[in-house]
Amino acid sequence: MDRLPGFRDFYPEPVPPGDNLAWSADARAHVFAAWRHTARRYGFREYDGPPVESLDLYTVKSGEEIVGQLYNFTDKGDRRVALRPEMTPTLARMVAAHERDYKKPIKWFAIPQLFRYERQQKGRLREHFQFNADILGETSVAADAELIALLIDALRALGLSATDFQVRISSRNAWQEFYQRGVVNAEAGGAGEYEFYQIIDKLERTPEDESRKKLAALGFALEAVKDFIAAAQPTLELQAVLDNLQARGLGDFVTVDYHVIRGLAYYTGVVFEAFDRQGEFRAIAGGGRYDNLVHLISGGKIQLPALGFGMGDVVLLELLKARGLLPRFSGAVAVYCLVEDETLRGDSLALVQQARDAGLAVDYPLTPTKPEKQFKRARELGVTHLVTVERNDAGEKSVRIKHVQTRAQQSVPFTAAVAALIAELPPGR
């Protein structure tokens, strides 16, 4: 049975070689921990929603690209459903349902697994995990800056610096003005606006002639678009975001770049994407303001300004690996309990249980095993200490504790064994 294309298996390290969709479960846990820790430092609370949603949730407003990539099907109750391709519509639905129960601004984060039926390529798979952080109920541009600071710190927490990545900030408002100033072909109207954003979004990845033709069809000259991008003149709101980040000492991490416009349809104000500085990888993260989505998803009942971003694990893990920023992972078992005398297995189990109750990571042979094999296993696990229950001629039980590296040994009464072990182990084991 083969794995489906574009999906990954996550193995404990060492990851089996020669399989580019066998990824490290340890590295993933490391990234998730940094995401969670950073979100909490910024006062964000964790939420989650269902991985399957009604298809309508996405056809309402995500934009054609994502709808074209949906994993959708009709369930056994004849409902048209889809695996979630992004978290934002779920968040908007959840908040709209219980908006009154939460004080504003709402600051929430999630780490959902998302599914998009897209062509598998470098940095793009059919599933990925995405750190989502969103603020709802705040119109001030201070919230945009706060969110971008969180994005920067989530990457800094993983060892990345301003020489590794940059957040490019831009403004849908600025582009909207540009579009409205330039609409020659009045017939294009609103439909043309979204198409125009799509062309800008793909400008850097599309041959120039193709972009020129598509823009001309909407009544725009490629040169005018390029001049606007090159001028990189910050709008007042972008300047406020820059000043805010500068005040925190995070100015080096951001730049105004009007190439960014975001493919998704619901964005309204400041938008941004994070990229590696060397331009080797696809976007690490992307987000922005979406002040009308809650209104739309609540059927016009609730008006709540919102903004957020999503940071995928795929590009990020590739980048961390390329920059040598992933730590060496081990099973982190500290202690191996040798069972050399099977008549003492019950006592050994009692010792293992007490040590685990005390928070230690302990392993032992599940079945009668030759001593050499037990030692080999302990070595493979990289334990720092070996323990063995022993009984003297008088029938008194004691525990021998051996430090694997120094070979230093001590024998302690059975009841004092766990305390003695804890005293020997470095903190955190």
Binding site for ligand HAM (CB under 6 A): 86-88, 116, 118, 124-125, 128, 130, 132, 134, 264, 283-287, 290, 308-312, 314-315
Tell me the closest approach of the beta carbon of residue 283 to ligand HAM, in angstroms.
4
Nearer to ligand HAM, 158 or 338 (CB): 158
Nearer to ligand HAM, 121 or 392 (CB): 121
Reported as type and span, the H/E element at residue 106 is: strand 106-110
- Report the SS3 class of residue 178: helix
Q: Which residue has the tokens 């430092």?
A: 41
Nearer to ligand HAM, 116 or 172 (CB): 116
Nearer to ligand HAM, 264 or 360 (CB): 264
C-alpha closest to that of 197 among 63, 12, 312, 287: 63
Burial of 385 (0-12, 13-18, 19+ CB in 10 A): buried
Nearer to ligand HAM, 261 or 284 (CB): 284
Tell me the closest approach of the beta carbon of residue 142 to ligand HAM, in angstroms.
17
Nearer to ligand HAM, 309 or 336 (CB): 309
Whole-angstrom Cα distance, residue 285 to residue 370?
52
Tell me the closest approach of the beta carbon of residue 85 to ligand HAM, in angstroms.
8
Nearer to ligand HAM, 72 or 88 (CB): 88
Burial of 22 (0-12, 13-18, 19+ CB in 10 A): middle
Sign of CA dihedral 98, 101, 106, 111: negative
Tell me the closest approach of the beta carbon of residue 135 to ligand HAM, in angstroms.
9
Tell me the closest approach of the beta carbon of residue 342 to ligand HAM, in angstroms.
51
Biggest CA–CA distance in the chain, Å, is 101
Q: Which residue has the tokens 């994993």?
A: 71
Q: How many CB atoms lie within 10 A of CB 148?
A: 28
Nearer to ligand HAM, 113 or 161 (CB): 113
Which tokens is 391 given? 């009984």
CA 330 to chain CA centroid, Å, is: 22
What is the DSSP annotation of 186-252?
A: GGGHHHHHHHHHHHHHTGGGS-HHHHHHHHHHTT--HHHHHHHHHH----HHHHHHHHHHHHTT-GG
Instruction: Give the Å distances, CA to CA, from 334 to 23, 132, 178, 385.
Output: 25, 35, 62, 6
Nearer to ligand HAM, 120 or 415 (CB): 120
Which tokens is 395 given? 């029938």
